[in-house]
Amino acid sequence: MRVLVASNNPHKLEEFRRILHPLGYTAVSPADEGIAVEVEETGRTFEENARLKARAFASRSGLPAVADDSGLIIDALDGEPGIYSARYGGPGLTDAARCRLILDRLSDVPLANRSARFAASITYADQGGREITVGARVEGVIAHEPRGVDGFGYDPIFLYPPTGKTFAEMAPAQKDAVSHRGAALRRLAEALSGRFDAGILR
C-alpha cells in the first residue's frame, strides 16, 4: 500500500521509508506527489499535531497519509523542548546549535539527573474516514557532549543506555529497532493489518 508521509523533513521521510518498507508499505513524499501542504501545528500535544497533519495531507492528496509529531522531553528542563523541539531556541538555528543550547542549559546537571525521552505520536488518516493514532517513547539520557554523525536533530546528544551510544552513533537499523518512531510505526502496521482494532493506541 502506498502512503503519503505528511512531512517535508527529509530525515523523517528517510526513517519512514526505511521502517515502513519491510512492513509492506511504500512511503511517498509530498515532493514525489507534487503536493505542497503547510500545516500550522496549533495542537497542545504530539497527538493533536499528528492528527492535524495527517488529516490535512490526506484531504489534499487523495492518498492515505501518515503523520508524525515527535520531540525530546528532558526532565531537568521541565519537559522542554517537548512539542517545540523543531523550533527550540528560534527558527534560524541548526540542529547542532539546538543541541548546544540544551547542553549549555544542562551544564551543571550530573548524569544521574539528565533523564530524557523521545516521544512520537503517529496518525494514519485515509479517505474512507479511518483514523488511527499510535504513540511510543524511548528512554535515554542527555550526553555531556555531542557524539556521532548518523541520524538528525537531537540524536548526537541522546544517549541510549542499553548500547552506551548516542542515537547518532548507532547504525540506522539499530536506532529503528528501539526508537520512538520505529516502535510507533510497527504498532501502526499491526493496527492497520487488523491484528488489533483500536482507534487510539498508546
Which residue number places its CB atom closest to ligand IMP? 153
Tell me which DSSP letter residue 64 carries. -
Cβ at position 81, least distance to ligand IMP in Å: 8
Residues 163 to 202: which contact ligand IMP by CB under 6 A? 167, 179, 181
Catalytic residues, by residue number, are: 69
Total binding residues for ligand IMP by CB under 6 A? 18
Can you count the helices (H) and strands (E) in the chain? 6, 8
Could you give the angle at the alpha carbon of 120 between the alpha carbons of 181 and 77, nearest 5°? 125
Answer left, alpha or beta for residue 62, where phi above 0 means left and psi between -120 and 50 means alpha.
left
Q: Which of residues 17-46 bind ligand IMP (CB under 6 A)?
A: 41
Percent helix, percent strand, percent coil in the chain, to nearest 5: 40, 25, 35
131, 113 Cβ separation under 8 angstroms: no
Tell me the sheet residues that pair with 200.
Answer: 133
Q: Of the candidates 25, 124, 154, 160, which one interacts with ligand IMP according to CB under 6 A?
A: 154
Helices 180-192 & 10-20 angle (0-180, nearest 10) = 50
Instruction: Give the alpha-carbon dihedral of 114, 12, 188, 57, to 10 degrees.
Output: 130
The answer to whether 69 contacts ligand IMP (rule: CB under 6 A) is yes
Q: Closest separation between CB of residue 179 and ligand IMP, Å?
A: 6
- Among 29, 85, 123, 166, which residue sits at the site for ligand IMP (rule: CB under 6 A)? 85
Minimum Å gap between C-beta 61 and ligand IMP is 18
- For ligand IMP, which residue of 25, 118, 124, 160 counts as binding (CB under 6 A)? 118
Contact stretch for ligand IMP (CB under 6 A) within 68-76, 103-111, 124-132, 187-195: 68-76
Q: Is 140 in the site for ligand IMP (CB under 6 A)?
A: no
Interface residues with ligand IMP (CB under 6 A)? 9, 41, 68-72, 85-86, 118, 151-155, 167, 179, 181
